[in-house]
Amino acid sequence: MTLQTSPERTEIPVRSASPRHILMCRPSHFEVSYAINPWMDPTVPVDQARAIAQWEIVRETYKRLGHRVEVIDPIDGLPDMVFAANGGIVHGGRALAARFTHVERQLEGAAYRAWFEAAGLTPAVQATHQNEGEGDVLTIGDIMLAGTGFRTSRDAHREIAEFFGVEVVTLELVDPRFYHLDTALTVLDDTTIAYFPGAFSAASNAVLQGRFPSAIIASEDDAAAFGLNAMSDGLNVIVSDRAVGLHEQLRQHGFNPVGVETSELLKAGGSAKCCTLEIRS
């Protein structure tokens, strides 16, 4: 008699959340008055009140989930300051403020450095090389993944490695729609990422496949909906409500997607993660 075997069931991992310390910036002066990425079109109207309301929902969601949220004062004339992730990198109590590529954002670097210093982060310095903070540098476990190709330079990757004393893995971005690493890849926990392969060079795809063979692979539609511009606490993933396919993939891997509407902020090329700088002290 031949025994029939049932197909193996893949168990959904049990995940847990860890509290985060987050810095955000209210979009009090948000507008799209210039174009420095493919998503920005100054001829498309922006509803500032709606942008503020959407940002408030993201902040309140973090607070409801038990995270500590601080807010840096917005500065008139710096409409993209809402995208706090770009303001710098904080790791082990050390802070490296951004040095922006485009002149429209360059004053933000000094503003974020001043906040880091006032918060008691030591040392708190501004990067020497072109460096757009957590927009291009994502921490996973004891390494940092660092994007290049459009904004942050390879020289900045070396500076980051020396300043923080960590391994930095360079990833080359090749699609201008995904101009920052945090638009093409999200860190979900200390070992798990989700990413869109089409945003990366062949060599960088090989690096990602080698280091993260069990990664969640996002579709182009979900990536273009800014689904990968997400913030995870290890269980809950604050993610664009438009990335419905990615929501289902996250559930299948034991994560809890929390959809947020960021349609106004998307007009400047950012969603939940762009609004979020993690303070790792």
Q: Is the pLDDT of residue 4 over 50?
A: no
Please compute the mean of the pLDDT values over residues 101-105 and round it to a whole number.
98
pLDDT of residue 69: 98
The residue with tokens 């060079």 is: 201
- Tell me the per-residue pLDDT of 123-157, one tens digit each, with 9 for 90 and over: 999 999 999 999 999 999 999 999 999 999 999 99
CA distance 41 to 26: 21
Using pLDDT thresholds of 50, 70 and 90, give the confidence band for residue 3: very low
pLDDT of residue 265: 98
The Cβ-side half-sphere exposure at 135, using a 13 Å CA radius, reads 33
pLDDT of residue 5: 39
Q: Is the pLDDT of residue 225 over 90?
A: yes
Domains delineated in the chain: 21-278 (3.75.10.10)
- Tell me the per-residue pLDDT of 84-95, one tens digit each, with 9 for 90 and over: 999 999 999 999
Assess whether the previous peptide bond of 176 is cis (omega < 30° from 0): no
pLDDT of residue 23: 99
Using pLDDT thresholds of 50, 70 and 90, give the confidence band for residue 273: very high
- Amino acid symbol at 39: W
Catalytic, out of 25, 67, 247, 274: 274
User: Are 231 and 238 contacting, i.e. CB atoms less than 8 angstroms apart?
Assistant: yes
Assess whether 274 carries a catalytic annotation.
Answer: yes
pLDDT of residue 80: 98
Q: Nearest CA to 231 among 87, 17, 5, 13?
A: 17
Q: Which two tokens stand for residue 117?
A: 């210093």
SS3 137: strand
CA distance 23 to 21: 7
Q: In Å, how far are 213, 216, 263 from 46, measured between CA atoms? A: 40, 33, 10
pLDDT of residue 2: 39
Q: Is the pLDDT of residue 68 over 70?
A: yes
Mean pLDDT of the chain: 96
pLDDT of residue 55: 98
Q: Which residues of 207-223 are buried (b: 16+ CB within 10 A; e: fewer)?
A: bbeeebeebbebeeebb
Using pLDDT thresholds of 50, 70 and 90, give the confidence band for residue 7: very low
CB atoms within 10 A of CB 248: 11
pLDDT of residue 77: 98
SS3 133: helix
The Cβ-side half-sphere exposure at 198, using a 13 Å CA radius, reads 12
163 strand-pairing partners: none
SS3 70: strand
User: Are 160 and 181 contacting, i.e. CB atoms less than 8 angstroms apart?
Assistant: no
- Tell me the per-residue pLDDT of 153-179, one tens digit each, with 9 for 90 and over: 999 999 999 999 999 999 999 999 999
The Cβ-side half-sphere exposure at 250, using a 13 Å CA radius, reads 31
CA distance 261 to 241: 6
Q: Which two tokens stand for residue 44?
A: 């498309």
Q: Is the pLDDT of residue 106 over 70?
A: yes
The pTM score is 0.95
Please compute the mean of the pLDDT values over residues 210-235 and round it to a whole number.
98
pLDDT of residue 6: 37
- Amino acid symbol at 175: D
Share of the chain above pLDDT 70, in %: 97
Catalytic, out of 91, 180, 247, 253: 180
User: Are 144 and 171 contacting, i.e. CB atoms less than 8 angstroms apart?
Assistant: no
pLDDT of residue 119: 98
User: Are 259 and 239 contacting, i.e. CB atoms less than 8 angstroms apart?
Assistant: yes
Instruction: For residue 57, give the H/E element and its range.
Output: helix 48-64
Please compute the mean of the pLDDT values over residues 39-44 and round it to a whole number.
98
Q: Which two tokens stand for residue 9?
A: 């069931």
